[in-house]
Amino acid sequence: GGFLPLAVTMVQKHVFDAFDEPDAQKTFWHGHSYTANPLGCAAALASLTLTETNRAAFETMESWHIDGISDLVSTGLTHHERICGTIMAVDVRMDADSKTGYLSEIGPIIKKKALEHGILIRPLGNVLYLMPPYCITKDELSDVYQDLTKILTELKIK
């Protein structure tokens, strides 16, 4: 969910082979900052365990997203709504003269307004994501959707 660093680097064999040399001059010395980060690995294992043992809870959260997103959709201020498990993303409608995508200037404005409502989000331009913590309740997530609907309505985005 983006709370702790964890990554996997995958390359084609010919790229790997270029660095897999006994000659230290050809070693790729970068990328070690998070190598086997014990906290990141422990969090990943706990997340996998949680996912495997609480599948119904994740499906329930998905249904909460489906319920909550209807408020946003009904305003006509969003489009291209999508939900995948515990994650929701939606594109905020912009006028024809505004940038869309990750370079849209509306993201930081929405982020600031959301923070004023106690909501931590990281919009990427006009793409709004919700990745709530697994411990969120239905009422709390409903409040988030109501606040986001209010924010978009107040900003008169369209």
pLDDT digits (tens, 9 = 90+) for 59-102: 888 999 999 998 888 889 899 999 998 899 999 988 877 877 78
The reply to whether 129 falls in a domain is yes
In a shared domain, residues 87 and 40: no
In a shared domain, residues 107 and 145: yes
In a shared domain, residues 25 and 62: no
DSSP classification of residue 124: B
pLDDT tens-digit series, residues 124-133: 999 999 999 8
Instruction: Print the domain residue range for 131.
Output: 55-155
Burial of 61 per CB tally in 10 Å (0-12, 13-18, 19+): buried
In a shared domain, residues 131 and 60: yes
In a shared domain, residues 21 and 97: no
Q: Which of 95, 79, 63 is nearest to 127 (CA)?
A: 79
pTM for the structure as a whole: 0.73
